[in-house]
Amino acid sequence: MGVFASTDDPGSAGHEQVVFCQDKQSGLKAIIGIYSTALGPALGGTRCYPYASEEAALADVLDLSRGMAYKNALAGLDHGGGKAVIWGDPDQVKSEALLRAYGRFVQSLGGRYYTACDVGTYVADMDVVARETRYVTGRSVEHGGAGDSSVLTAWGVFQGMRAAAEHVWGSPTLRGRRVGVAGLGKVGKHLTGHLIDDGAEVVATDVDPRALEWARVHHPGVTLVADAAALVAADIDVYAPCALGGALDDDTVPALRAKVVAGAANNQLAHPGIEKLLADRGVLYAPDYVVNAGGVIQVADEIDGFNFERARLRATRIYDTTRQILRLADDEGVPPAVAADRLAERRMADVGRLRTIHLR
């Protein structure tokens, strides 16, 4: 993907701004990508990762920042899409000096981009970044932040799943359904609790024995299977990928027995075209960036002074948004992922256009 809008890809507006940041002394090499500020300041986390090359880091930040524009638009937030990457192994490169240098670059954008946590960065890191910039959220509770975002992420995934269940089986509940949860991490654990409370039967897997032990202790009724492949092939009604991206690929989709896919993992579709494969097999896919928006809803709320109940209510609306997308998909005869993109683009265009009304 290139930075500038390409005539080969008429669907892409291109990125507004991409900033390369370097501070040799601290070892900082970061790229901040701002895809769109049509709906407000760009918002998205900072990923710290040992990319194989500068090109790989750039490709990731372009992809992720575009994704955030769509996620934020559908979450109803007054935020555009942005994301940043720090190039390096988080265990080796992160230091006070590096994080503060990074914070100064974020500050230099004057509020066009708000940062937060992502893979390889944590609330404690955001507290350090915040010593240099106001434009940071996802902070620790001690510093007025909201803390762990997985609580509302799981709540939002559950709401999206309810809407998908209603679309397929006529009732917005998972009661009596078998739900396969791949990944009993921060989100998967909370999701399992919601599903059990709703009367679902949970089948789960994780590569970490501690996560499996957690399930045995806290939810002995959960059936544990060997791995994600076994879960995909199991007799389940709903598949909830809650581990890594790329869970739906050319091998998993043909093997899938579930009628619904709804989970927390980002970028579940391994490549374009998988959404069509799912639709052709009669599997309803609730787009990941729609149902997993609870986390960004939480960090966005924190910018105004965190109010859990307000954020929870907003995350509950993921049910309505998912419902609307699934209906639009049926009406327009397209997969839900395409309908979601259309709805996001419509909001960015309709609301973004209002800025052309001049105000003094």
Ligand X SMILES: NC(=O)c1ccc[n+]([C@@H]2O[C@H](COP(=O)([O-])OP(=O)(O)OC[C@H]3O[C@@H](n4cnc5c(N)ncnc54)[C@H](O)[C@@H]3O)[C@@H](O)[C@H]2O)c1
Please identify every residue annotated as catalytic: 83
Nearest-5° angle of CA 29, CA 30, CA 33?
A: 155
**In this chain, which of 5, 141, 207, 349 binds ligand X, going by CB under 6 A?**
207
Structure tokens belonging to residue 262 = 């709804």
Q: Residue 179 pairs with which residues in a beta bridge?
A: 202, 238
Indicate the residue among 37 and 149 with the shorter CB distance to ligand X.
149
CA distances, 172 to each of 7, 16, 140, 147, 169 (Å): 42, 40, 35, 30, 8
Indicate the residue among 119 and 196 with the shorter CB distance to ligand X.
119
Question: Please, are residues 214 and 204 in contact by the beta-carbon 8 Å criterion?
Answer: no
Shortest gap between Cβ of 179 and ligand X (angstroms)? 15
Phi, psi of 194 (to 5 degrees): -60, -40
HSE at residue 172, side-chain half, CA atoms within 13 A, is: 11
Interface with ligand X in residues 266-295 (CB under 6 A):
266, 292, 295
Structure tokens belonging to residue 13 = 């507006």
Shortest gap between Cβ of 263 and ligand X (angstroms)? 8
Task: Please report whether residue 265 would count as binding ligand X according to CB under 6 A.
Answer: yes
Shortest gap between Cβ of 243 and ligand X (angstroms)? 3
Placement of tokens 């940041």 in the chain: 21
Shortest gap between Cβ of 239 and ligand X (angstroms)? 12
Indicate the residue among 29 and 47 with the shorter CB distance to ligand X.
47
| Contacting range for ligand X; rule: CB under 6 A; set: 9-17, 98-106, 260-268, 270-278 | 260-268
Task: Please report whether residue 213 would count as binding ligand X according to CB under 6 A.
Answer: no
- One DSSP character per residue, 237-276 reads SEEEE-SSS--B-TTHHHH---SEE--S-SS-BSSTTHHH
| Contacting range for ligand X; rule: CB under 6 A; set: 261-269, 275-283, 301-309, 341-349 | 261-269
Contacts of 287 (CB under 8 A, 6+ apart): 325, 336, 337, 340
**In this chain, which of 228, 253, 303, 329 binds ligand X, going by CB under 6 A?**
228
Task: Please report whether residue 85 would count as binding ligand X according to CB under 6 A.
Answer: no
> Per-residue string for binding with ligand X, 175-204, x by CB under 6 A?
-------xxxxxxx----------------
Distance of CA 3 to the CA centre of its chain: 22
Indicate the residue among 160 and 188 with the shorter CB distance to ligand X.
188
Closest residue (Cβ) to ligand X?
Answer: 185
Shortest gap between Cβ of 329 and ligand X (angstroms)? 22
Determine the Cα–Cα distance for residues 201 and 249; give it in Å rounded to an integer: 25
| Contacting range for ligand X; rule: CB under 6 A; set: 12-20, 97-105, 173-181, 240-248 | 240-248
Determine the Cα–Cα distance for residues 193 and 222; give it in Å rounded to an integer: 10
**In this chain, which of 18, 212, 229, 244 binds ligand X, going by CB under 6 A?**
244
Indicate the residue among 168 and 230 with the shorter CB distance to ligand X.
230
CA distances, 330 to each of 70, 75, 149, 326, 357 (Å): 20, 21, 32, 6, 35
**In this chain, which of 9, 208, 213, 350 binds ligand X, going by CB under 6 A?**
208
Interface with ligand X in residues 125-184 (CB under 6 A):
149-150, 153, 182-184
Shortest gap between Cβ of 185 and ligand X (angstroms)? 2
Nearest-5° angle of CA 223, CA 292, CA 228?
A: 35
Shortest gap between Cβ of 322 and ligand X (angstroms)? 15
* Residues found near ligand X in the complex (CB under 6 A): 149-150, 153, 182-188, 205-208, 211, 228, 242-244, 264-266, 292, 295
